[in-house]
Chain A
Amino acid sequence: MASREKKKKGKLRLNPNGDIITLENVSKSYATGAPALNGIDLRIKKGEFVFIIGDSGSGKSTMIKLLLRELVASEGKIMVMGEDLTRLRHRKVPKYRRNLGIVFQDFRLLKDRNVYENVAFAQRIIQVPTKEIKRNVPSVLSVVGLAGKYKARPRQLSGGEQQRVAIARALVNRPAILLADEPTGNLDPDTTWDIMKLLESINENGTTILMVTHNREIVDAMKKRVITMKKGVIVSDEERGGYNNED
């Protein structure tokens, strides 16, 4: 899988400091004029696990959308894996996104397809040959602990299992960065911890993870880097931080 997909996804480039993501004085205003982000500076190194926390409207989702290149910054510069997202042409966005994995709070699985097809879908999109898909999908499903449920439809799975499928789909193309937008928001506490352990092990294998969350307990317990946002600015950025530091 590796060589062919690398060609599809492009080369991973870091700046001399080893930063995989850099935001320099980034602002984003919407048509209403209200700034969603205001002069953000941020550097994230390859292999980091970063929590982004903050109240609703603090700019967390806008930041994720900017990193996905769903939105373009009004001001400033965003570099991700050597790509300047403020200058990235529309037709080059798909190729850029192939280096990212994305996990949502509501899983966003295709309800009419089984687990295998949901994960294979991510590979089909980047035109991986069927033979390779047949090899890669079972392997990633075993990583998330769902090898035995590949035939199940999403509605036959629990919330935690559905999120595992979503993570498998995000991982199957071996992204350098995993963006997780409240991935445990719909899960009970036990399942939340299962998912967090899974994300941590993925991070230990070298994937950079940016996770937006409201879950105080996991942020405090995991002792990872925590970026706190408020009204479009970063109010704190701490290594091994916690929710307690907010306010």
Chain B
Amino acid sequence: MKISTLFYTIKQGIVNIFRNKWFSLASIATIGACLFLFGIFFCVILNLENIVKTAEQGVSVTVFFDEGITQERIDEIGGLIKNRPEVYGDPEFISADAAWDSFKTEYLGEYADGFAENPLADSASYQIRLADVSKQSELVSYLESVQGIRTVNRSEVTASTLTGMNALIAYISIGIIVILLAVSIFLISNTVTIGISVRKEEISIMKYIGATDFFVRSPFVIEGMLIGALGAIIPDIIIYFLYNEVIRYITVEFNTLTELLAFLTVQDVFRYFLPISFGIGVGIGFLGSVTTVRRHLRV
């Protein structure tokens, strides 16, 4: 395609939007609404995932050692644990003394003075954080087989709940996104169909004069893609400004949950959301218009 033809096609795509402005506006608004809803789900899902991930990292497995174990063996076990793929970061070693100090501070206070010796002498442990909660059982089985480990403490309920929640979020989000995309494609297709029917005569003249199918179809595809892009920009802007307000509101209203609710910054969200929403907008514009021109422009 020549540069002048490319410009002409783009210009015609833009002219089409204005010539058919009410339908175009309706399509932009509906795609905008779909992508706005998508954006809200996207933000919620991304934040929930982050919260789940943060919570997952809080889920830990604790291992205690056999009585009389040497510090060398404890270090060896530490090395073994660190190399496991299920483990997130370094296992945290809590010596018997540190465990007793923590216990004293938390529960006994001044009453701890009555203890001459450390009653938790064999309570040195490793606190292990998990990279993936669903792999907890595998890790536990492995740890139980390691020589020198007496007990492995774990929180099975939390792990399985979080794993289930992750899957649920994924299924719901995929379902909603698929429905929204289908609606948007249908809408774009309708707008382009109306555009084609309005310009039926123009198209027939073009064909009589010798326009190729590509030349006839291109402005409609450009129109669809532009509508998709415009439909994406509007919710992007709204969500950008709305996001911080909502986060601020939740943080103030539910400040007791602040530690649990690990929110992402708007920049973190938009690093993914901006290209995805723009891609979806332009993509559904392209898909909707291409399928429609193929169906209606058997020219």
Interface, chain A (partner B; CB < 8 A): 68, 91, 94-98, 100, 102, 108, 110, 112, 121-122, 124-127, 129-130, 169, 173
Contacts and interface: CB of A to CB of B under 8 A. Distances in A.
B2 A127 contact: yes
B248 interface: no
Contact of B210 (A94, A110, A129): A94
Contacts of A97: 207-210
Nearest to B19: A112
Contacts of A122: 209
Interface residues of B, number: 19
25 contacts: A94-B207, A94-B210, A94-B212, A94-B213, A95-B210, A96-B210, A97-B207, A97-B209, A98-B209, A98-B210, A100-B210, A102-B208, A102-B209, A108-B201, A110-B205, A121-B205, A121-B206, A121-B209, A125-B211, A127-B1, A127-B2, A127-B5, A130-B4, A169-B209, A173-B209
A127 B208 contact: no
A125 B4 contact: no
B154 to A, nearest CB: 67
B209 A129 contact: no
Contacts of B209: 97-98, 102, 121-122, 125-126, 169, 173
Contacts of B4: 127, 129-130
Interface in B180-222: 201-202, 204-213, 215
A97 B212 CA distance: 10
Contact of A68 (B201, B208, B213): B208
Between B1, B206, B209, the greatest number of chain A beta carbons within 10 A of the residue's beta carbon is seen for: B209
Nearest to B211: A125
A130 B201 CA distance: 24
B249 interface: no
A102 B204 CA distance: 12
Contacts of A129: 2, 4
B2 A125 contact: no
B201 A125 contact: no
A100 B2 CA distance: 23
Nearest to B15: A112
A94 B211 contact: yes
Contacts of B5: 124, 127
Contacts of B210: 94-98, 100, 125-126, 173
Nearest to A102: B208
Contacts of A108: 201, 204-205
A38 B19 CA distance: 45
A97 B216 CA distance: 15
Interface string B234-272: 000000000000000000000000000000000000000
Q: From B1, B8, B205, B207, name the one whose CB has the most chain A CB atoms within 10 angstroms.
A: B205
A113 to B, nearest CB: 9
B201 to A, nearest CB: 6
B97 to A, nearest CB: 84
A81 B206 CA distance: 21
Contacts of A68: 208
B21 to A, nearest CB: 13
A233 to B, nearest CB: 27
